[in-house]
Structure 1
């Protein structure tokens, strides 16, 4: 819902400023031609007022695409987490995984795997708080090799075991 709202805001601002565009998607806008500097500045300012920004640096754009792909993988309820994440990201973005991994680490200061683990743990927290799944079911759904592996990773990231986290949020 948020992404649809953002898309509509971007379209409205493009229309208001008079910038012709071919498409507006999450994270990208395809224009008919290059945007004059004065219109680009006006667009940047108007989007900034509503909490959006234009990413012009190709590395940052690529990092955002990596994050979107990882988020898609983690949020999916269709066993997408069973997919090898490096293959998934590489195929989705059509880049060599080593290249993506190096850029991600350089810009973000953490590895793609660390980012993935953090997102998975956030998803596990959601399951613990809002779903009626057992820790075994959560472990299976999130593609952990065992409940023990999930618990160890959860404790490493949060400082609590999954059951302690669950009890503290009741």
Structure 2
């Protein structure tokens, strides 16, 4: 689960099935009672209908937890990290970072760092489009060491500078207004 809507769907499906839960977070739900094999299959089928997947194996669950920590820290948290991201992830999941990095790369075919950067750049794009923060504020909020570092990484990923990206969005909007 990577969004609030997904959490709502899971809560709704669990409630429909009469399964009591204490929490539903990004990627996991904590149920009060033990569930039967039949209930497990019902949950799995209900989630599949909504485009969600019930994960059973520990590696898949850990991969999802890694993704959730990244998504939450990039898209939903405004707290600055006091340690580097690898240490933060290690502390959050209670696993050695090397193990997490190797597992993630093996299963996903991409490094944790590239996944993190992709999400950071998507978030930067959102912030540029909203036009509420300047580039310095965006760099600070997204934990870049400088505007130059953010700009270089943005250009490497998108092929555009942040300023050019912002101009393109403005041009596209004005062309729509002319219609």
Q: Same fold (TM over 0.5)?
A: yes
The residue matched to 1:163 in structure 2 has which SS?
Answer: helix
Q: Quote the Cα distance in structure 2 between the aligned partners of 1:150 and 1:88.
A: 20
Mean Cα displacement is larger for which, 3-12 or 108-117? Answer: 3-12
Answering whether residue 144 of structure 2 is matched by residue 144 of structure 1, we say yes
The residue matched to 1:169 in structure 2 has which SS?
Answer: helix
Q: Quote the Cα distance in structure 1 between the aligned partners of 2:44 and 2:14.
A: 13
Aligned CA-pair RMSD: 1.9
* Displacement of 1:40: 2.5
* Displacement of 1:7: 3.6
Using the size of structure 2 for normalisation, the TM-score is 0.82
1:23 matched residue in structure 2: 22
1:53 matched residue in structure 2: 53
Q: Quote the Cα distance in structure 2 between the aligned partners of 1:30 and 1:158.
A: 42
The residue matched to 1:151 in structure 2 has which SS?
Answer: helix
Using the size of structure 1 for normalisation, the TM-score is 0.86
Where structure 1 has 5 or more consecutive residues not aligned to the other structure, the ranges are none
Q: Quote the Cα distance in structure 2 between the aligned partners of 1:132 and 1:2.
A: 25
Contact 1:13–1:43 (Cα < 8 Å) also in 2:
no
* Displacement of 1:22: 5.0
The runs of at least 4 consecutive aligned structure 1 residues that moved more than 4 Å come to none
Where structure 2 has 5 or more consecutive residues not aligned to the other structure, the ranges are 171-179
Answering whether residue 112 of structure 2 is matched by residue 112 of structure 1, we say yes
Answering whether residue 30 of structure 2 is matched by residue 10 of structure 1, we say no
Contact 1:105–1:112 (Cα < 8 Å) also in 2:
yes
2:130 matched residue in structure 1: 130
2:174 matched residue in structure 1: none
Q: Quote the Cα distance in structure 2 between the aligned partners of 1:11 and 1:138.
A: 38
Q: 1:52 to 1:9 in 2, by over 3 A?
A: farther
TM alignment of 1:41-120, pairs within 5 A = 41-75=41-75, 76-80=77-81, 83-120=83-120
1:32 matched residue in structure 2: 33
* Displacement of 1:28: 2.8
Q: Quote the Cα distance in structure 1 between the aligned partners of 2:112 and 2:88.
A: 12
Contact 1:104–1:112 (Cα < 8 Å) also in 2:
yes
Contact 1:89–1:97 (Cα < 8 Å) also in 2:
yes
